Amino acid sequence: MTFQLSQVLLILTLVFFSIYVFRLRTVVLERIIYFTLTLGGTIFIVYPEWSTRLANHIGIGRGADLMLYIFVIFSLFHYVNIAARFKHLEHQMTAVVRSMALAEAMRDMPSHEGNVEAG
């Protein structure tokens, strides 16, 4: 089985994505990835024929197909970012609710300080 250059690049991108998700995820790296994808998208908007040339160079038939693959990869990064933020918010909300429940339970407990008789 022979692989096209595009297949190798896309598989390597997905491998990098997996490593990123499980090991390298940082705000700086996210910003670099988003900036790179945005810059690439801007270049392809200004020079649309470049996407077709690049696609043909790496073994993809059309520039539109290349854009679809890039969009899918960008969407994966974006999904992981949103999911991580959502999970962080869930943890924060759980901590706040626990704290409020404990504070309310402590407030509702009967106080024993005034009931102690001097002996």
Each residue's pLDDT tens digit in the chain (119 positions)? 788 888 888 888 888 877 877 777 777 877 887 788 888 888 988 898 999 999 999 899 999 999 899 889 888 888 888 998 899 999 999 999 999 999 998 988 876 655 555 55
Per-residue model confidence (pLDDT) at position 4: 83
Domain, as residue range, for 78: 7-17+24-107
pLDDT at 95: 95
What are φ and ψ of residue 4, in 5° steps? -75, 155
* 61 domain-assigned: yes
Question: Residue 117 domain-assigned?
Answer: no
pLDDT on residue 55: 93
Q: Is residue 51 part of a domain?
A: yes
Number of domains in the chain: 1
pLDDT at 16 (0 to 100)? 83
Q: 16-30: string of b/e by CB count within 10 Å (b at 16+)?
A: eeeebeeeeeeeeeb
Residue 81 lies in a domain: yes
Report the alpha-carbon angle 35-38-43, nearest 5.
125
The verdict on residue 31 lying in a domain is yes
Q: Is residue 65 part of a domain?
A: yes
d(CA 42, CA 119): 84
Which two three-digit tokens encode residue 118?
């001097």
Contacts of 95 (CB under 8 A, 6+ apart): none
Residue 118 lies in a domain: no
Do the domain assignments include residue 78?
yes
Q: Position of tokens 């520039």?
A: 63
DSSP SS3 for 64: helix
